[in-house]
Structure 1
Amino acid sequence: MKLNLDQIRQDTPNCLDKLYFNNAGASLMPKPVVAKIQEYLIEEEKYGGYAAFDRNSDAIQQFYNETAQMIDAAPHNIAFAHSATDAYAKALSAIDFREGDVLLTTADDYVTNHMQFLSLQKRFGIVIKKVQTQSNGDIDFEDFERIIKEKKPKLIAVTHIPTNSGLVQDVEKVSEICTRENIIFLLDACQSVGQLPVSVAKIKCDFMSVTGRKFLRGPRGTGFLYISDAMLEQGSHPLFIDGAGAIWRSENSFELIEKAKRFQYWELPYALVLGLKEAILYQKNIGIENIQHYNDEVMAYLRQNIASIPGVATFDRGSVTSNILTFTKENKPILDLKAALLKKDVYCSISARESGLIDFDKKGIPGVVRISPHYYNTIAEVDQLLNHINEL
């Protein structure tokens, strides 16, 4: 099945007057998503927040059903989150770290995730270990197995697709090892859900954090956390909970609810919850396999042709790459590159050293310009982008 690109672009009218290539930052929302948010806000204006929720409670519950179906989970495994960072922090806070516990991660982890690891190190005295990478950027699984054997980590935390690189990590192999060794696996799928099929039935992680604003094309301030049955059954819960996550049974005790909703708070932005659900339904109607196939064609064309532009260097390693392309141009600071492209109505982003310090220091660069197309972009737009980069 081919994408109905004309309809998709009609549903995304704000892609028609610009070259929008910042979907790894915040994608353009389709019209049905915006309409759903506005519709709910009008109900809140008319009836008040409580009554608006009551009138839409069934539709709100469908958020959990549709999200679960998208990742091959069950609705009780899903908690709404205000961002991927919100989801990730709650998952980390649920792990009972002790001094000396080892957290194993990669050199390609997200800046905020790594700062949370450092906070845990300062507060609880955990040990952070980083697995080596192969020359092509993939995880060195021999080193991975060695560290596990020697250090017996309490948690393995991996980012599926780093924010500063098009690399796609082999998280299914990571999950196989975690399952075999009975190690908790926390997956950051912030950049992968919405551009790739992501199934927790295949990637047997214990926690998975996701944002709504990137390739899912949902509103900012949304995301979700997946929590496995094993974690729920053993009583895993975030450090701080409220009356939505537990029942206050006595003055000195509470009883956790059975569902993943124990990881969310009572107060939620329900207009945005419904907006994210609408974005998930929009993707479902198109089909994630169709999206992936189209994106692969666009990215192959972009990667092949940008390499021929004089002075351009690209930095995305890995045996599998994604919808993120990072580059620099000789004698052009990255901020100047971004500003020059914006003058030509090209919307992209930069990743400075601070967003991927370990990776960038290994590559010997201070940062990159990040281009991230999605399925509403066209080959003609890519050609325009390439011409602009060539002219800079």
Structure 2
Amino acid sequence: MAARTLPAPLSDFLGLRPGDVHLAGGGQTPLPVVAKTAFGDFAANKADGQRGYDRHWQVAASARALLAGLTGARTEDIAFAGSASDAFDRVVQGIGWRKGDNVVLPALDFDTGHAALDRLAARGVSVRKVAPSGWICEESDLIAACDARTRLLYVSQVNALT
């Protein structure tokens, strides 16, 4: 795949027309045209039994190798998840939480982050939600809420209000 300069042209995306401005983020972004081909390939592989299943995993292995080359990560450290929320939940569940640990996050942060972290309370983990001043949660307030038992400081770029 040749390197491209951003922003990508409208023609790279399904359903966008000249004059369209699409500002939604998260799971609501327009799909790139290449996704249509990828979906078609996936559907064809699903219909081809074990051979198709094997091709599915070959595509995943190729994508991991590409990402490893771009990031310097090991292929075995690269995982694919169904959404950013699913990926974050997997990271949270992968931490070796202990009773008395805590996590710090802005009170106005994205709901799925809150959901993943709120479940930790049942394991004896304190979930510290830092109140904003107006609409802003200051970095210094987040840091002040951390202590020696803080295992995670969670801040996302989006929330339900942005």
Q: TM-score, normalised on structure 1? A: 0.35
Identify if the C-alpha distance between structure 1 residues 155 and 16 changes in structure 2 by more than 3 Å, giving closer, same or farther: same
Is 1:159 the counterpart of 2:155 in the alignment?
yes
> For 2:35, which of 33, 36, 49 is the aligned residue?
33
* Aligned match of 1:59: 59
Identify if the C-alpha distance between structure 1 residues 144 and 2 changes in structure 2 by more than 3 Å, giving closer, same or farther: closer
Once residues 85 and 6 of structure 2 are traced to their aligned partners in structure 1, the CA distance between those partners, rounded to angstroms, is: 32
Q: CA RMSD in A?
A: 3.1
Once residues 145 and 6 of structure 2 are traced to their aligned partners in structure 1, the CA distance between those partners, rounded to angstroms, is: 45
Gapped runs of 5+ residues in structure 1? 166-325, 327-392
Structure 2 counterparts to residues 162-241 of structure 1, below 5 A:
162-164=158-160
- CA deviations 1:130-181 (Å, max 9, x no partner) are 346567825332x444433xx423422323302335xxxxxxxxxxxxxxxx
Identify if the C-alpha distance between structure 1 residues 77 and 127 changes in structure 2 by more than 3 Å, giving closer, same or farther: same
The 3-state SS of whatever aligns with 1:15 is coil
- Contact 1:103–1:129 (8 Å) recurs in 2: yes
Once residues 157 and 78 of structure 2 are traced to their aligned partners in structure 1, the CA distance between those partners, rounded to angstroms, is: 21
Larger RCO (CA within 8 A; separation ≥ 6): 1
- Contact 1:134–1:140 (8 Å) recurs in 2: no
Residue 54 of structure 1: how far off its partner (Å): 2.3
Matched residue type, 1:115: A
Matched residue type, 1:158: Y
Once residues 131 and 70 of structure 1 are traced to their aligned partners in structure 2, the CA distance between those partners, rounded to angstroms, is: 35
Once residues 75 and 55 of structure 1 are traced to their aligned partners in structure 2, the CA distance between those partners, rounded to angstroms, is: 18
Once residues 81 and 13 of structure 1 are traced to their aligned partners in structure 2, the CA distance between those partners, rounded to angstroms, is: 23
- CA deviations 1:305-350 (Å, max 9, x no partner) are xxxxxxxxxxxxxxxxxxxxx5xxxxxxxxxxxxxxxxxxxxxxxx
The 3-state SS of whatever aligns with 1:81 is coil
Once residues 27 and 115 of structure 2 are traced to their aligned partners in structure 1, the CA distance between those partners, rounded to angstroms, is: 20
Identify if the C-alpha distance between structure 1 residues 72 and 136 changes in structure 2 by more than 3 Å, giving closer, same or farther: farther
Gapped runs of 5+ residues in structure 2? none
Structure 2 counterparts to residues 310-389 of structure 1, below 5 A:
326=162
Once residues 92 and 2 of structure 1 are traced to their aligned partners in structure 2, the CA distance between those partners, rounded to angstroms, is: 34
Q: Answer 1 or 2: which has greater strand percent.
A: 1
- CA deviations 1:82-111 (Å, max 9, x no partner) are 222222222222233333222222234221
Residue 67 of structure 1: how far off its partner (Å): 3.2
* Aligned match of 1:126: 125
- CA deviations 1:168-201 (Å, max 9, x no partner) are xxxxxxxxxxxxxxxxxxxxxxxxxxxxxxxxxx
Once residues 81 and 91 of structure 1 are traced to their aligned partners in structure 2, the CA distance between those partners, rounded to angstroms, is: 11
Identify if the C-alpha distance between structure 1 residues 57 and 116 changes in structure 2 by more than 3 Å, giving closer, same or farther: closer
Structure 2 counterparts to residues 95-114 of structure 1, below 5 A:
95-114=95-114
Count residues in correspondence.
158
- Contact 2:110–2:159 (8 Å) recurs in 1: yes
Identify if the C-alpha distance between structure 1 residues 159 and 34 changes in structure 2 by more than 3 Å, giving closer, same or farther: farther
Residue 128 of structure 1: how far off its partner (Å): 1.7
Q: TM-score, normalised on structure 2? A: 0.75
* Aligned match of 1:92: 92
Once residues 58 and 85 of structure 2 are traced to their aligned partners in structure 1, the CA distance between those partners, rounded to angstroms, is: 27
